[in-house]
Amino acid sequence: MIYSLLKPILFSVDAELAHDISLGMLNRFHALIPQTRVEKPVTVMGLNFPNPIGLAAGLDKNADYLPGLSKLGFGFIEVGTVTPKPQSGNPKPRLFRLPQHRSIINRMGFNNKGVDHLVKQVTSQPKPYVLGINIGKNLTTAVDDALDDYRLAMQKVYLQADYITVNISSPNTPGLRDLQTEEALDSLLYGISQTRLELQDLHQVNRPIALKVAPDLDDKAIPGIADLLRKHKIDCLIANNTTLDRSRVVDHPLAHENGGLSGDVLALKSQHVLSEFHRALQDEIPIISVGGISSAAEAKERFERGAKLIQIYSGLIYRGPGLVAETLKAI
């Protein structure tokens, strides 16, 4: 109700400004918001999720807005993407709405305050939800040296995260998606796995690792990636990030803008990637489905195709927080 009144105002200003205003208001008045979470417990990756609906990474890159976001009914929240060093991201404007398609183009470029800031934020917050921390590499770090950044970020967030997501799928960091090729991914996941073992021995606690992939993968690459997930004992796959494909928005005047496309137009591609990975993984490794989920019907479709959990982002922008409760009621 409240969001339906605020939405026209928020959509009348620059998208990134509206993002900052809305999250700032949510945090400021969070104490007045009743807890709306519906309890539908599910166990995935050995973790007990209050319900299977989560917030995708990207909305709260620095874990600055957890008090407010925790009131919206999510069973889990994924913060980040965070990098070892702070970085400003790409020049503005870098976030664009396509309302008639209920979609968004972003080329944010991993803008964040750095992992040390994020760790301070999550350490100071109570967590009545499962917390995922999404990590990436700095723009100035060569792709060949990406493992160094992932190792450092893992070491910093290991005790604060309930699970850690390795993001190799953003289209807005040059060369990052090259890490999805079989040889590069094999080397990266070996390093990630070894780092996890070291941290596990040091802290005597295991943190599940998820890998987030792009929706633009060739179908032929999926079985190979699935085999590498098994080989390196990765705990979960997140499918998927934003797409570079503009075929479903060619009529829009902003279709030429560089960046990743999310929202309703990503739904069919996300369904396909989910189905292909589910076929390849055969439930040996759970899948979190994300991309184009803006209705209860679409959420149900993802679970039917094999997802164990789902995440929303663009759907929250266009439908508001009521989408979470609506979806939980339907499933």
The CATH number covering residue 31 comes to 3.20.20.70
> What is d(CA 150, CA 154) in angstroms, rounded to the nearest whole number?
6
170 is catalytic: yes
Which residues of the chain are under the pLDDT cut of 50? Answer: none
What pLDDT shows up at residue 175? 87
Q: What 3-state class would DSSP assign to 242?
A: coil
Q: What is the DSSP letter of 35?
A: P
Q: Positive or negative CA dihedral for 239, 243, 248, 254?
A: positive
Strands of the sheet with 95-98, listed across from one edge: 95-98, 103-106, 260-263
Number of domains composing the chain? 1
pTM of the model: 0.96
For residues 177 and 217, is the Cβ–Cβ distance under 8 A?
no
Catalytic site residue from 22, 70, 103, 170: 170
Q: How far is CA 56 from CA 1, 53, 86, 242, 314, in A?
A: 23, 10, 21, 11, 9
Closest by CA position to 33, among listed 55, 3, 5, 61: 3
The predicted pLDDT at position 1 comes to: 58
Q: Quick one: pLDDT at residue 125?
A: 75
Range of the domain at 53: 2-330
